[in-house]
Structures are given as C-alpha cells and as structure tokens.
Structure 1
Amino acid sequence: MAFDGFFTHAIVRELNDQLATGRVARIHQPYPAEMILVIRAHRHNYNLLLSANPTYPRIQITDVPFKNPPTPTNFTMTMRKFLEGAIVKSIEQVDNDRIIKITFTTRDELGDDQELTIVSEIMARHSNISLVSVKTGKIIDVIKHVGSDQNRYRTLLPGATFIMAPKQDKLNPFIANQEYAQLARRAEDVSEFSKQLQQAYQGLGTQTSRELAFELLNGDNVPEAYQKFLFNFDHPTPTMITLPNSKVDFAAYEPQNLVEGTKLQQFDTLSELLDGYYASKSQHDRTRQSASELIRVINNELKKNKNKVKKLNRTLKETEKADDFRIRGEILTTYLHEVKPLMTEIELPNFYDDNHPIQIELSNQLSPSRNAQRYFTKYQKLKNAVGHVNEQLKITNAEINYLENIQSQIELADPEDTKEIKLELQQQGYLRIKKSNNRKKNRVTISKPEEFVSTDGTSILVGKNNLQNDRLSLKIANKNDIWLHVKDIPGSHVVIRDSEPTEETINEAAQLAAYYSKGRDSAHVPVDYLPVRKLRKPNGSKPGFVIFEGQTTIYVTPDSKIVEKLKK
C-alpha cells in the first residue's frame, strides 16, 4: 500500500505509544539522507530511523544494524548539540499528509526551557528532515539544503523561517464528512471510484484508495464500511503481501481486495513490517550510493571492452577473406602480361574455378607486379592478425568476466564491503589512489568473511568480494576443507570448515554459494565443490581467480529464508 498518508497515520500512533516521554540518548547519521535517534523509553533503547532517502523515505523504529562513518557530519553535530538529552513531548501527523512533527522539550545554553521540532517530510525526492525552533519558527539545520534557486515557494536553509509544504485542497479523511457517501452513490466501478476518492481525500495512495473503494462498494452500509476502514489504521495488523507474481507489498492491515494465490505474513508492529520490507531494498540502495564512483568506472570499462570485442570480431571475420586476397595475387601474377597501364579492374580466368572468371580491382597508380604484391601483403597481414586477434579476444573477454564479477559483488554487497572493492580496483589500476597525509584514512583492513552455521553446527565461511575470496580460499581455509563456487558465473567463494561434511551441510553451503552469486534469482543453479587442496591460483591472475579440476556438481535453487536461518 506504500507509505501514504493513511500508513503515516498508523505509524505515528505506534511511535507515540512507544516513544512518548522518552529521552534522546544518542544521534547518528550512518548514511547521507538518514538519521537515527536512539531514544530511551520505558526502560528500552529504540533506534528511531528518519529517512529522507528519495527512493525509500520513511520513519520507523529499526532493528537493522548500521555502522557510522568515521567522521560525523555537520548536521549530526548540530543535532547532537540541540537534541541529546531532550525529551520527546509528542509525535504528530500534519492533517493526513506524509509530514510528521516530533516535538522535544530541552534546555538551551542558558538553562532555559525550549521546544524544538523535527519535521520529517516523506515526499519521494522532495523528502527532508528539518530541525526547527518552536519559539522563533527558524530552521536550525536541515539534512538536505534547498535554496531559492531550487524551490521558489520556500527555502530550507539554516536561519530561514520554516514554511510548511503547500497544503493540498483536499479533505482530511479522519474528520467527519460525507463526501465518500456521495461519491459511492455515483460510482460505476472500483477503478473509477478509487480515482474520485484520491481527488477528494488527503493521503490516499493508489492501493489504499482501491482498497477503500472496494470496501465501500461491497459493504452493506457505506458509513459503517468507511468507519471500519479508518479503524484499521487506528488498530493496525501489520501485513506483508506477496502476490502470485512474487511482487511484495505491505499494508497496515489485511486487505480484502486480493487476487487468488496472494500470501500474507503478519508482524507484531508496523516498524518490524517495514524492516522486513525495506531491509534488503534500502541496503541495496545505500550500497549503490556509496559505490556510485565504482559503478561508473566499471560501466565505462565494460562498455570500452565490449566495443573492443566487437572490433576484434570484425577483424577476425575479415581474416576469413585472407585466401581471397592470396588467390587474386596468384591469378594476377599469372596473367601480368594482360594488365594494361591505368586499368582500375580486370576480369581474368580463375584456375580455382573454371566456370567463373574472377574480377580483380587494380590501382592505376601501381604497376601490374605491385598490384599483385599488394594482394599478397593483405593476405599475409590478415594471416598474421589471426593469432594476435585471438589472443586479444581471450584477454578482453577475461577482463569483461572480471568486471562483471565486480559488478555482481557490488549488487550483493553491504555498504561497508564497497571499501574493499574500491581498494581492489585501485590495486588493479582502474581507480587512482588519492594521496593523503592521514595514513589511517588510507588504510583499509580486509574484513573477515561472513560466517554461517549449518543445521548440524558446521561452520561455513563466505567471501563477499575478491580480496575476501582470496584470503578465505588461500590463507584461512585448511587443505582438507570443502570449497564451493557456482559454475561458470560470478559468485562468492564458500568454504565448509570440515573435511567430511554431511550431505545436508553441503546442500546448505551450496545454497549460500548460489545466493551470493549472479544466479541468486535463478532456479537449479549448478554449484561445484571439491577439497581446497585442489585449488590453484595462476601467477599474475586477477584477485578471486582460481583454477581447479576433479569437482563434483550439484544443483540448488537459492532461498533467502534458508540463508537467514544459517546466519550466525
């Protein structure tokens, strides 16, 4: 149902129940457009996430772990200065819009009481988080600065007067009115009625409006059906919706208008629901943000190498004509006496094909013998090119495979993993190493491979990038441990820390190998496994590249639930 005004209404009620009267203990900004307030309430620490991410804006309590940057931003420092130790007075929604005001009571530098408000605007690319003084109405700081050149209606900069986003000329659905009843009497079908409801009421997302239209048109009593609909957002039953086409959505309550084959999963709180829905999506988005430079470099290199392959293949195709040049040279040499000065072409008997004479182009600037020699030179040049072109094709295709492997690793990586991928690209000469006097800043420590535990308690290690893969396969793993990798596609190195694992453990490790590979979304993915001692790394080969023989292949279909179950 998306994070519309109705869902905002429900999450605000939940946050009020959990956080009201709580104290702000710590403030973090792990990602550029996201802030986390650690609030101590009811003898428990809650991580309140406020996100102005243009793709996944939201507000919720999160249990997803995060890691802070080494140096806090200016925005973080300002928020810490004004809000650490503040008490949450109230959490309110502005009308039924996707705007939330969190009001805090605290003391200023002189010890006087003051009220501050965080205004969280959940509006796609216009999403923002502003800290505002209640007394003066001035902005103290804002997570995304918006100048007058970007927005003529209002300026979102420190020191400017805070102006709320323009209000829509629509009804608040939680304030008594009968507009819905009048629309229902005129409605012809759910689709048309849904559009009319969206035009009349605030905060109605497409799916929510369709659900409301369906319930009003199918209920015996329209006012009762409407009140029941509103009740669902005051007393939510958080629900994850998986459609038959595998598309996933979420709702504050269990929808009634569902297609056959839809699967539903209930959560205890709306925040847990949002964690379940957004965790992987937002993590992937954060990774792409932190790896934007790497993605650009890799895409450019891939484009360059793929163009090179096309040119090499064209050259290789031209070498197939080498014998044609040789034949023309030989025939021209045989009939040199028939070539007259200034001729540009000549037709001569073809002693390789008696039935078809051959047409030979000539340069009127060259003698007959030089024309013949020109064809022999072209023939020799093309013959010599075959070996060189094939060698270049082999090198370029290997380069493409390597870059696609890096591309796949970024898709599967956590934001922290991108530092190691960046280091690898610097070592391989794809990125310049920026010199800095701060040695600690330049130093990147290769993190440990991720550890999983099989059902029978066996440790399974998974490398998340090439530097981790090399370290895992060539240094950490014992000779008799079992090594796994998807067959013929980019993926992680996986090691079972056992020389004789059970069949169940091998299958679970194969699940991990398939899941952490480019075949994650495929079925029946082939996975090779063999003892580590059979691995070989050729001299001068790229990071993460190994060769082997004597492997056994099994087929698995990756399942994220199994992967979650195996996490240590």
Structure 2
Amino acid sequence: MSFDGSFTHSMKNELTNLLQTGRISKINQPYPNELILTIRAHGKSHQLLLSANPTYARVQITKVPYVNPSVPTNFTMIMRKHLSGGILTDIKQQNNDRVMTFTFTARNELGDQTKLDLIIEIMARHSNIILVNQADRKIIDAVKHVGSDVNRYRLLLPGATYINPPKQDLQDPFVKTDFADIEQLVKDFPNIDVLAGNLRKSLQGLGNDTSLALASFLHRDGKVAVNFQDFFKQFDDPKPTFSHIASNKINFTAFPYPDTTKNRFYPSLSELLDAFYANKAQRDRVREQGSVLIQVVKKQLKKNRTKLKKLQRDMAETENADDYRIKGEILTTYLNRVDRGMTSIELPNYYDEDRPIKIQLSNQQSPSQNAQRYFKKYQKLKNAVKFVSEQLNLTKQEIDYFENIQSQIELADPQDLVDIRYELEQGHYLRDHEQNKKKKAKRQKINKPEEFISSDGTEILVGKNNLQNEKLTMHTADKRETWLHTKDIPGSHVIIRSFDPSEQTLAEAANLAAYFSKARDSSKVQVDYTKVKNIRKPNGTKPGYVIYDNQTTLFITPDEQLVESLKK
C-alpha cells in the first residue's frame, strides 16, 4: 500500500499522456496540503490533484468533487498569479524517487514568457508542493515552509534556492542494464523476505510490497535478468489493481502482485487511487475540519454518561425508601423501649415476625426525633423518584442524541460539517469556538441531501445529518413517498421519490439506509420502511427525531460497491 518510486514512474507516464500540452484553467486549494489544477488538454478538462497530506500524499487525476473555501489561501493566490493560463510542457521524475516535476510555460507580469517548475515531493510527513523559477532555481512559494531550525540541509522558503532532496546511492531499476549484482543477491538470499530487504538497499523506489513482489518474481525459474526486466516492464503497461492481502488488508498496485486475492481492476491508476483513497482521505479531512465538533460531542457524552451513573445510583437508593418508613413506624410503636443516647436498638418487626429489625439511632436526638428522621428520609426519597426518573429519561435522550451526532460526523463529508456545527450552535452546545466571530443574523441554508439513482431509475435522497434529515422528511418529501431508517440505530433518513417503488428499489434504498448508519460495518441490519404520512415529530424534540408506525422491516447487509454504483 505504498505510493513508491515505481508506482510514481507509472503515474508519470499516465499523466504525461493525459495532460502534456494542456493549459491551466483553474487553481484551487480545497484543503491545507492539497492543490488542484484544472488542466484542459486534448479537448477534456482534468482535475490534477497534488497532495502533500502526511498520510495520503500522492499525485493523480481525480473525479472526486471538492468544496473550496470561500476565501482562497495566500498559497492559492500565488499559484494563480504565476501559473494561471500556463502550458504544461513536461513531466519528469527524479531518478526513480517519489519526486515529480511539472514544467509550465507561463507569462509574468510584464508579459514575458517564463518557465516554472511545480515540484511535488511525496515523502510522508515531509511531503511538499513547491513552485520554483526554472531560470534561477529560486523558490516562489511552498505549501509547507521549512526553515533552518527544521532542516539545515535545505530551506523551503520563498526566495531560497531550491535544492533537490538528498540523493540516495541506489540504482534506478528502469535504466539498469547489468544484472550480475541482482543474480548474486538471488543466489545469496533464497528467503523471499530477506531478498526483498536487500533489493530495497540496492534499488531506488521500491516500497515493501514492490520489493516482495520483485523477490518472488526473481525466484520463479532461474532467469533472473529476464524476470527483472519483465517485472519493471509492467510499470510501463500497468493494469491498475485493487487487491486484498493478508490480515484482511487492502492494497493498490500498478499490476497484480503475487499472493494477492480478490483483485479488482480499474481503467487508470487515477481511478484506482480515487477508489482507494476517497473514503480514507475523506475521513481524515472530516477529523481535521471537525476536530472542534468531535471534542464538543465527546465532552457532552462523557458528562452525560457520568450523570447517568449518578442518577442510577440515586434511583437504586429510592428502592430502599420503604425500609426507612418501616423503621420509622416500628420506632414510633416502641418509643417506650428507646432511651436517649442509644446508638442502635433491636425491636420486633411486625412486618416479618420471625426476624427482629435492628435500627441505627442518633445519640444526639430523642426517640421521637429519631423516628421523625426516618420518616423524613422516606419522604425525601419518595419525592425524588419522580424527579430522578425524569432526569434519567432526559439524560438517556441526550446520550442517544450525541451518539447520533457522533455517528453523523463519522459518516459526514466535509461540507456536511457546516450543518452539524449550526445544529450544535442552535442547541447552545457549541459556544464561541470560532475565535469570537460574530454570528450571522440570517438563518443558515441547509445543504441538500445526497442523491442516488436506483437500478430502475428512481431517485433516492439520503439525509447526512439531523438538519438534513428533518428538512428531507418533514418538508421535502411527499406524504405518499416511502421513508426508510435503521431500526433503533442512529442513521440517515432515506426517501424514495416514488409512490409505488419496486422491490429492487426498496432493497437498494434499504442498503443506503444501512450503509449511512452506525451499523455500516454490521451484517443483517434491520431497516424499517413506511409511507411518509406515517411519520410524526413530537413537539419539543431534537432536530431529526421522529416517531412512526405501520412499518415493514427488511434485513440488509451494507454493500459499499452497491452504494458507489447508485451515486448520481
């Protein structure tokens, strides 16, 4: 699962075929470490994604839609100033390393033609995107500024001279012609894992999975040189592969590697990466952008769970209320046997004649005051039952509500976080976390639900948070349409925009309801469906909360591939 130098080689070839001679029409930076260049080439527009994300650094064409910030960053403005309208003239890879250089011809402020290099270094947490003037190698800007306090070897700051990453003393396998050293390694190390480790020490651009695959290839039939060349030729004619490896892990490769199962093939490397990274990167962005919301929800859950435990202890105490009443009554009956100063007494129990009752006393109170003390405790606990019961119900509702919000954040796209934030602000759970920004006077517009199309062409709408759910069910949907929701599990409201949906559409909509719920990773999820006319919202309840009747239940195992195929 590595975007190593060899995979970069294949990606460079794919991008060269698609983008070379193309013109930049748009430049956006939807997320802090990611840049998207819209390039018009060969009659088509392509979104080139350059990602310096510490976990998901990569280069690819992407079809995943992005929501851009309302105010562009300084880095975006500099990129637009220098690269807008530029022509892509060349794409190069540094040896077989994870460094790609996109060379553009553009016009400066005076109208003179200039050559600029946009360099992406794919190096985990050190990944970066750097714009360099080709003439003098001066850095115009970088998405991550690196000063001398972090890296003494090279500065990555505007105005500094760009220095290539330190060159490793390794061979480029794509230009290698002498294979004597490889043949010796194969002879010396018959163990695949050990051979793979030594190959990584000799050859540039091999990740763990690629080196293991190469080691298996070289051991096939003794023809080391032929096998070596055949292995790397496949990077020039890739068969993009999504595969399963040991321990239930998944992987992406330029072609099928040995010892992989359930291989799924894609038309291009970029489409492969979209399929592999879309969900992972999306979750990462949601965690990054929704960090405040996540902390607020965790805090509320912790507070309410602590409160619930205390209330349950209080409720358990109220179950002993009758014990206090009985002791008070027995003390009153036998007051003549009680002397002031006693700390306890054993008296006959006319509620259980076989077992006398022992009663604790205060030596500071009279016998009758001791009896009254027990009656007061009884009355206090009796009065508390109603209050504690109400508080228990309210606290359980709060826990259910925040567990639902937590589930919605986990399933959210970055744009859905706006609605969740607004809901928490309206409920006064989220105070001034936005650096004292003034609240907007006008009501915030709720984002539209996600749209899907069933196999028979019926539109299906899915709410992604409480505000979307409420608007979809209570305002958008027709009373004769069908509503679906997971049974007793937090999840999305789903509406089938048909008065009489087919069995297939019902099953597909139920799959969407199960997938967009807390039970996404479960099997045989119960999904209820009924007509919208059977849905009611009790007064004073939280956003998205409804009750319903006349439902039918389906059992569904969520299928991610089906969800993808239904996307509009």
Q: Does TM, scored on the shorter chain, surpass 0.5?
A: yes
Structure 2 residue 138 is matched with structure 1 residue 138: yes
2:230 to 228, 231, 237: 228
Partner of 1:539: 539
CA–CA separation in structure 2 for the residues paired with 1:339 and 1:455: 84
What one-letter code is carried by the residue in structure 2 that aligns with 1:105? T
CA contact (8 A) 1:119 1:132 kept: yes
Q: 3-state DSSP class of the match of 2:234?
A: helix
Higher deviation after alignment, 287-296 or 329-338:
329-338
Q: CA deviation at 1:34?
A: 0.7
Partner of 1:469: 469
Which ranges of structure 1 fall in alignment gaps of 5 or more residues?
none
Q: 3-state DSSP class of the match of 2:536?
A: coil
Q: Mapping of 1:105-504 within 5 angstroms?
A: 105-176=105-176, 178-243=180-245, 247-258=249-260, 262-336=261-335, 339=338, 342-348=341-347, 350-353=349-352, 357-432=356-431, 444-504=444-504
Q: 3-state DSSP class of the match of 2:102?
A: strand
Q: 3-state DSSP class of the match of 2:548?
A: coil
CA contact (8 A) 1:190 1:214 kept: yes
Q: CA deviation at 1:352?
A: 4.7
Count of equivalent residues: 564
Partner of 1:11: 11
TM-score, normalised with respect to structure 2: 0.92
CA–CA separation in structure 1 for the residues paired with 2:23 and 2:273: 23
CA–CA separation in structure 1 for the residues paired with 2:184 and 2:556: 56
Which ranges of structure 2 fall in alignment gaps of 5 or more residues?
none
CA–CA separation in structure 1 for the residues paired with 2:438 and 2:364: 65
Higher deviation after alignment, 136-145 or 159-168:
159-168
Q: CA deviation at 1:500?
A: 2.4
Q: 3-state DSSP class of the match of 2:219?
A: helix
Cα gap change, 1:37/1:368 in structure 2, threshold over 3 Å: closer, same or farther?
same
CA contact (8 A) 1:344 1:361 kept: yes
Q: CA deviation at 1:91?
A: 1.7
CA–CA separation in structure 2 for the residues paired with 1:164 and 1:340: 96
CA–CA separation in structure 2 for the residues paired with 1:426 and 1:341: 60
Cα gap change, 1:379/1:437 in structure 2, threshold over 3 Å: closer, same or farther?
closer
What one-letter code is carried by the residue in structure 1 that aligns with 2:215? A
Higher deviation after alignment, 186-195 or 264-273:
186-195
CA contact (8 A) 2:7 2:254 kept: yes
Q: CA deviation at 1:3?
A: 0.9
CA–CA separation in structure 2 for the residues paired with 1:228 and 1:358: 92
Q: CA deviation at 1:372?
A: 3.5
Offset from partner CA, 1:468-504 (integer Å, 9 cap, x none): 2111211122222222111111111122223222222
CA contact (8 A) 1:449 1:462 kept: yes
Q: 3-state DSSP class of the match of 1:457?
A: coil
Q: CA deviation at 1:418?
A: 1.4
CA–CA separation in structure 1 for the residues paired with 2:502 and 2:550: 19
Q: CA deviation at 1:439?
A: 5.4
Q: CA deviation at 1:338?
A: 5.2
Q: CA deviation at 1:506?
A: 1.9
CA contact (8 A) 2:245 2:259 kept: no
What one-letter code is carried by the residue in structure 2 that aligns with 1:314? R
CA–CA separation in structure 2 for the residues paired with 1:414 and 1:270: 24
Q: CA deviation at 1:82?
A: 0.7
Q: CA deviation at 1:274?
A: 0.9
Offset from partner CA, 1:448-474 (integer Å, 9 cap, x none): 323333333333222222212111211
Higher deviation after alignment, 157-166 or 499-508:
157-166
Q: CA deviation at 1:136?
A: 3.0
CA contact (8 A) 1:24 1:84 kept: yes
Q: 3-state DSSP class of the match of 1:389?
A: helix
Q: 3-state DSSP class of the match of 1:233?
A: coil
Higher deviation after alignment, 125-134 or 235-244:
235-244
Q: 3-state DSSP class of the match of 1:416?
A: helix
4+ residue runs over 6 A deviation: none
Q: CA deviation at 1:357?
A: 5.0
CA contact (8 A) 2:481 2:495 kept: yes
CA contact (8 A) 1:459 1:496 kept: yes
Identical positions, percent: 56
Q: 3-state DSSP class of the match of 2:235?
A: helix
Higher deviation after alignment, 533-542 or 558-567:
558-567
CA–CA separation in structure 2 for the residues paired with 1:41 and 1:499: 45
Q: CA deviation at 1:272?
A: 1.5
What one-letter code is carried by the residue in structure 2 that aligns with 1:264? N
TM-score, normalised with respect to structure 1: 0.92
Higher deviation after alignment, 208-217 or 143-152:
143-152
CA–CA separation in structure 2 for the residues paired with 1:471 and 1:60: 37
Q: CA deviation at 1:368?
A: 3.8
CA–CA separation in structure 2 for the residues paired with 1:87 and 1:246: 44
CA contact (8 A) 1:419 1:444 kept: no
CA–CA separation in structure 1 for the residues paired with 2:373 and 2:203: 81
CA contact (8 A) 1:214 1:257 kept: no
CA–CA separation in structure 1 for the residues paired with 2:449 and 2:477: 11
Offset from partner CA, 1:424-449 (integer Å, 9 cap, x none): 11111112366767959x76322332
Q: 3-state DSSP class of the match of 1:204?
A: coil
What one-letter code is carried by the residue in structure 2 that aligns with 1:242? H
Q: CA deviation at 1:184?
A: 1.9
CA contact (8 A) 1:48 1:61 kept: yes
